[in-house]
Amino acid sequence: GHAERFWQIFANAATTSILWFEVMFYILYSIIIVTELYFLMRTDLIALREGNTGIKQRLYSFLSLGSQRLDQASKDRDMKIVKTLGIIGIATAIAVHGGTGAVFAVVKAVSYWHSPLVPIAFIISAIASGAGLLLFLRAFFFKPAPDEQQFLSSLAKLAVFLIALDWLPIIFEFLVDLYGGIPAAVAAVEAAVAGPNWWVFWFIQLALGLIIPIIIVLLPWTRKSRVWLGAAGAFIVIGIVGFRLNLVIAALYVARITELPSAFFSPRLLASYSPTVVEVMSSIGLLALFMVLISLGLKFLPLQTPTENTADIEGGR
C-alpha cells in the first residue's frame, strides 16, 4: 500500500534475500524485453513515422527514439542485438520464474512448499502458460497468416506437451508427501484435492487446464479450428492459475501452531480463505488493464505487418 517506498529496495539492498534477487531479475527481465521489442520494431516504427502526420508522427518519432537508419547493415545489427538479448533473456527468464518458485521452496516451516521440485514446476508452468497465452492471442486477436493453421496447431501441441510435463513434478510432490507421511504435508495435499477448494484442483487445474486441451489437440475437427485452438490456449492459462492458487492456499489451510487459533483470535490466524471484494476487483482490474494494453499495442504498434514498405521509404530517400 506504499508504492512511494519502492526506492527502499535499492537503498537498503537485502542481498541475502531470495525475494530481493527476484525483484532485481524482474527489473532486468523487463528491460531486456522492452529493448528487444524496440529493435524488432525499429525499422517499422520509422516507416510509420514517415507515413503519418500530427500526433501519430510525434508518437512514432518518440517510440523510434529518433532513429533514421533503414539500411541493411542497420537491420542486420538490430537482429544481432535481438539474438544476443534473447540468449540473455532465456537465462534471465529461468531465474525469474525459478526464483518465484524458490521463494516458496525455501520456506522450511511449510512442508508442502519446501521442495526443489517447486521451482522446476514454476519454470515449466511459466513456459506452458506463455505458449497458451500466445496461442490465445494469435487465434483471436491477430489476422491469419498464410501458414496460420500449421503454426497454431504446432503451438497448441507444444503448449499441451508443456502442461502435461508440468504435471510430473506435481505428481511426484504429491507421492513424496504422502509416502513421507509428514502430517503437515499430507494435510496440505488433502486440502488441495479434497479441501474447501477441491473443485479448483479437479475442474480448473486438471479438467480445464489439462484434459480438455489434450482432447482439443487430439480430435481432428477441433485441432483444425482456429477458435478451438485459441480456447485451448486460454484453458491452459486458467489451469496454471488454478495450479498457483492450489499451491499457495492449500498449504495455508494447515495451521503451523494448531492451538494458536483457539488461544488467540485474529482474522489473520484463520485456517480458511476466500477472496475479498477488493482482491477480486483488483484482479479483474489488472486483467482489464492487460487487455487494454494489448488492444492499444495491436492498434498502434507494428506487431503484425508494417503499414508501409520500409524499402520504398528508403528508396525514396
Residue 227 has pLDDT above 90, yes or no: yes
pLDDT (0 to 100) of residue 304 = 67
- Identify the band that residue 299 occupies on the pLDDT scale cut at 50, 70 and 90: confident
Give the pLDDT confidence of 117-150 residue by residue, as tens digits: 999 999 999 999 999 999 998 999 887 878 888 9
Q: What is the pLDDT of residue 29?
A: 95
* Average per-residue pLDDT for the chain: 88
Q: What is the pLDDT of residue 268?
A: 67
- Are the beta carbons of 144 and 150 closer than 8 angstroms? no
pLDDT for 145-194, tens place per residue?
A: 788 889 999 999 999 999 999 999 999 999 999 999 988 899 999 999 99
Q: How confident is the model over 287-312, as a mean pLDDT?
A: 74
C-alpha cell at 112: 508442502
What confidence score (pLDDT) does residue 311 get? 42
Q: Which pLDDT score, from 0 to 100, does residue 271 have?
A: 62
C-alpha cell at 188: 496440505
Distance separating alpha carbons of residues 119 and 151, to the nearest angstrom: 30
Q: What is the pLDDT of residue 133?
A: 93
> What is the per-residue pLDDT for 315?
43
Closest C-alpha to 250, from 165, 176, 187, 171: 187
HSE, side-chain direction, 13 A CA sphere, residue 277:
0
Check whether 279 has a pLDDT greater than 80. Answer: yes
Rounded to an integer, the average pLDDT of 48-68 is: 88
pLDDT average, residue stretch 72-84? 93
Q: What is the pTM of this model?
A: 0.81
* Alpha-carbon gap, residue 29 to 284, rounded angstroms: 25
Q: How far apart are CA 114 and CA 173, in angstroms?
A: 10
Task: Assign 302 a pLDDT band (cuts: 50, 70, 90).
Answer: confident
pLDDT at position 209: 95
pLDDT > 60? residue 309: no
